[in-house]
Amino acid sequence: MKINSPRGTADLYGEDIDYRNFVIDTARRVFKVFNYKEIITPAFEYTWVFSRSIGEVTDIVQKEMYTFQDKKGRSLTLRPEGTASIARAVIENKMLFENLPLKVFYIGNMFRYERPQKGRMREFWQLGVESIGTDDPLIDAEVIWILNSFFEKLGFKKLVLKINSIGCSECREKFLFEFRKYLKPEVGKLCADCQKRFGKNALRIFDCKKSGCRSVLKKAPSIFSYLCPGCRKNFEEVLKYLEALDINYRIDQSLVRGFDYYTRTIFEIISEDLKSAQNALGGGGRYDNLLKQLGGPDLPATGFAVGIDRTIMLMKQLNLKIKKNEEKARIYLIAMDKNCKLYSLDILRYLREEKFLCDINFNKRSLKKEIKWAGENDYDFILIIGEDEIKNGSITIKDIKKYRQYQVNWENEKEKIKKIIGA
């Protein structure tokens, strides 16, 4: 039997874990300075949470959800995204009565039954923020500011922020009327999926990547031209804040995004270095009606999510390095036999309590090979404990980076040891 994980899933280990921790640590630091607090919600919800939020006729709800019945026949779904769950959680836990906006962030695995390809998985990881309780355009700008700072801190330089406004339900109603009128004589040229969308969810046609549909859309009216004065003004204010923050953006009037909950400002951050259709690293927008739609208070909100896996993929492609946060030296202790291991425990305990990354040899390699291995594996110091060291109560310390060697007494020269290894 071939041993493999389910299609579209991956094991993460080694270098990927280093990247992942760096990405998550960076996000946490950025979220903290903007005063966002962490929230953890379950990996599955009652199915209605997603169908009612994301929209019954979206691709995600129609084709991509992992839905199953539990033993009592209740319909449950593995979360395909975080926003709907957060909305459910803040309503249920009555988190919306204190100081608004409520600012939360989350990190979690998401599940979508999509065709796996480079940058597109069935289980993938997102980190995101949601800000609930104000429609002040400054919060739209703040959320984009966070996204921008996060990618800057990871070392990205050439990302593109695409932004659009899809207005409120009134703007959308007027636009859809005209859009359907335009599409009617062209329906036959659309793909089968878009023909279905034409009846139920025409806005989604803008999401289609098929060339036939794209050429039909070339002369289509854009929702942007149908914005009501309120939505237009709101959008202009968001852009003004972005300019004041020196955040580059590109207005893309064909940007719609695949969720029904969006209103007004929506955005996506893409990389032109990712030469595939999966070039969006993150996306988000305002969702002013979702809370009410789920039975909660009538409060506006906005947020974004970033794909962690895709971000790591691009970091590797662009050779962006992880900045190590460890300030303390990395130490490898080589104990020559069992007796030496026993003697070394005290030393290991001391160094680990002092918060050094400290490991001991478990392989049956010669001393020469152990030293070579430690040098190749990014250690700063090697500590050698052999029979002589036990006899003298000493430690041999090799500074690999500076090619120096010291002999120190373990019991009486702790300060000297600390000085050598840079405590």
Considering only 55, 101, 167, 282, the residue that binds ligand HAM (CB under 6 A) is: 282
Considering only 108, 167, 283, 300, the residue that binds ligand HAM (CB under 6 A) is: 283
Place of tokens 């953006």: 249
Between 92 and 121, how does the x/- string for binding to ligand HAM read (CB under 6 A)?
--------------------x-x----xxx
Q: Exposed, middle or buried: residue 40 (CB in 10 Å: 0-12, 13-18, 19+)? A: exposed
Phi, psi of 270 (to 5 degrees): -125, 160
Q: Does 51 bind ligand HAM (CB under 6 A)?
A: no
The DSSP 8-state label assigned to residue 324 in this structure reads: P
Find the shortest distance in angstroms from Cβ 194 to ligand HAM. 19
Considering only 55, 108, 284, 300, the residue that binds ligand HAM (CB under 6 A) is: 284
Find the shortest distance in angstroms from Cβ 29 to ligand HAM. 20
Asked if residues 156 and 269 have their Cβ atoms less than 8 Å apart, the reply is no
Find the shortest distance in angstroms from Cβ 176 to ligand HAM. 21
**Per DSSP, what are the bridge partners of residue 398?**
382, 405
Closer Cβ to ligand HAM, 281 or 351, answer by number = 281
Considering only 78, 285, 410, 421, the residue that binds ligand HAM (CB under 6 A) is: 285
Find the shortest distance in angstroms from Cβ 276 to ligand HAM. 11
Find the shortest distance in angstroms from Cβ 124 to ligand HAM. 3
Q: Is 133 helix (H, G, I), strand (E, B) or coil?
A: coil
Closer Cβ to ligand HAM, 26 or 361, answer by number = 26
Which segment (165-173, 220-228, 276-284, 345-353) binds ligand HAM by CB under 6 A? 276-284
Considering only 78, 223, 281, 294, the residue that binds ligand HAM (CB under 6 A) is: 281
- DSSP per-residue string spanning 181-200: HHHGGGGGGS-HHHHHHHHH
Which residue minimizes CB distance to ligand HAM? Answer: 307
**What gap in Å lies between CA 29 and CA 25, rounded to an integer?**
6
Closer Cβ to ligand HAM, 309 or 370, answer by number = 309
Size of the site for ligand HAM (CB under 6 A): 26
Closer Cβ to ligand HAM, 247 or 395, answer by number = 247
Asked if residues 94 and 109 have their Cβ atoms less than 8 Å apart, the reply is no
Considering only 26, 41, 58, 126, the residue that binds ligand HAM (CB under 6 A) is: 126
Find the shortest distance in angstroms from Cβ 345 to ligand HAM. 45
Place of tokens 């549909």: 213
Find the shortest distance in angstroms from Cβ 240 to ligand HAM. 22
- CB count in 10 Å sphere of residue 19: 22
Q: Does 128 bind ligand HAM (CB under 6 A)?
A: yes
Closer Cβ to ligand HAM, 205 or 397, answer by number = 205
Which segment (71-79, 126-134, 237-245, 334-342) binds ligand HAM by CB under 6 A? 126-134
| Nearest-10 Cα torsion for 249, 254, 258, 262 | 70
Closer Cβ to ligand HAM, 299 or 371, answer by number = 299
Find the shortest distance in angstroms from Cβ 78 to ligand HAM. 13
Q: Compute the radius of gyration of the chain from its Cα atoms.
A: 28
304: nearest Cα among 150, 138, 83: 83
- CB count in 10 Å sphere of residue 400: 18
Pairing of strands 301-307, 123-132: antiparallel
What six digits make up the tokens of 34? 């903007």
Place of tokens 């893309």: 252
Q: Is 368 helix (H, G, I), strand (E, B) or coil?
A: helix
**What gap in Å lies between CA 44 and CA 390, rounded to an integer?**
56
Interacting positions 300-329 with ligand HAM (CB under 6 A): 303-307, 309-310
Between 55 and 84, how does the x/- string for binding to ligand HAM read (CB under 6 A)?
--------------------------xxx-
Find the shortest distance in angstroms from Cβ 301 to ligand HAM. 8
Interacting positions 174-233 with ligand HAM (CB under 6 A): none
**What gap in Å lies between CA 295 and CA 79, rounded to an integer?**
19
Q: Does 234 bind ligand HAM (CB under 6 A)?
A: no
What six digits make up the tokens of 30? 């950025």
**What gap in Å lies between CA 67 and CA 65, rounded to an integer?**
6
Distances (CA, A) of 255 to 15, 147, 203, 265, 288: 35, 18, 10, 10, 18
**Per DSSP, what are the bridge partners of residue 267?**
163, 284
Whether the ω angle into residue 300 lies within 30 degrees of 0, i.e. cis, is no
Which residues contact ligand HAM by CB under 6 A?
81-83, 112, 114, 119-121, 124, 126, 128, 130, 280-285, 287, 303-307, 309-310
